[in-house]
Amino acid sequence: YSNRIAEGKFNLEGQEYTLAVNNGVNHIHGGLKGFDKVVWDAKTILNDSTVSLELSYLSKDMEEGYPGNLKAKVTYTLNNEDELSVIYEATTDKPTIVNLTQHSYFNLTADFNQDILGHEIVINANSYLPVDDTLIPTGEFREVNKTPFDFRKSKAIGKQINDENAQLEIGNGYDHCWVLNDQDKGLRFVASAYEAVSGRLLEVYSDKPGIQFYTGNFLDGTLPTKSKGTYQIRTGFCLETQHYPNSPNQDNFPSVILNPGNKYKSKTVFRLSTLY
């Protein structure tokens, strides 16, 4: 389960399950050895206009405290239109909870020594999920109108990130889930990022109900880059399409329960282009 689950606990069919507490008092990103830390079976699929990487993994019953033998598959496909699509699939033999996403850090300057505060962001959402002081959603759906969380029109990340705002202070910036519009339309435009100097534009399309916009507030210089440096605060941002954090403990959030005989399937597309 990507993102946070309060106190590492959830109930399913009358049984309480206990997960690792690895983010303060909460559970995050699947536990001590989440899906980002396991070895997946991989194969490539080559077609005339696409190339795909298909990743498969069997998460055995009670791995990291989650019930069910979960067969998960993630397929990354790059096409000739500069689109990277990500398809998530899963099946289970026992009722369980599933919320899969990716946590890629973007910096459209292509230089992770530069911060991302000048990037202009659009998020197609009229509301977001305010959080408590441990970054767990309170259950409220709060309107973005007249707040620093309004990205319905293009706005630089840095324009209001340091405003006096209780929610920004809790997250040390943006680290919240937005409630995406048009959830009944399936795959649709949900967000974009633009960097004016390079002209690079990233557009995001998804069928998920939420998107976690995170501005690298906890990057502290300890994570190494590919160029022998380290990632500093706010040198990368994330647009994580997903279900809402702590959904198993919030009756008013969309269900994340997967039952035997059903299939979890979701798609997100990252479309890259340049504007000059």
pLDDT higher than threshold 80 for residue 276: no
Neighbours of 133 (CB within 10 A): 9
Structure confidence by residue, pLDDT tens digits, 49-85: 999 999 999 999 999 999 999 999 999 999 999 999 9
Mean pLDDT of 235-244: 98
pLDDT given for residue 230 in this prediction: 92
User: At residue 217, what is the residue type?
Assistant: N
**Known catalytic membership, residue 120:** no
Rounded to two decimals, what is the model's pTM?
Answer: 0.96
Mean pLDDT over residues 20-33, rounded? Answer: 97
Q: Could you say which of 27, 176, 240, 243 is catalytic?
A: 240
Residue 240 annotated in active site: yes
Q: What average pLDDT does this structure show over 37-46?
A: 98
pLDDT 10s digits, 240-271: 999 999 999 999 999 999 999 999 999 999 99
E strands of the chain, at which residues?
Answer: 4-5, 9-12, 15-18, 27-28, 41-46, 50-59, 70-79, 83-92, 96-97, 120-123, 125-129, 142-143, 155-156, 175-180, 188-195, 200-206, 210-214, 238-242, 257-258, 264-274
Mean pLDDT estimate for the chain? 97
93 vs 67: CA distance, rounded Å: 9
C-alpha count within 13 angstroms, C-beta hemisphere, residue 178: 27
Could you say which of 54, 89, 103, 203 is catalytic?
103
Condensed to tens digits (0 to 9), the pLDDT of residues 157-203 reads 999 999 999 999 999 999 999 999 999 999 999 999 999 999 999 99
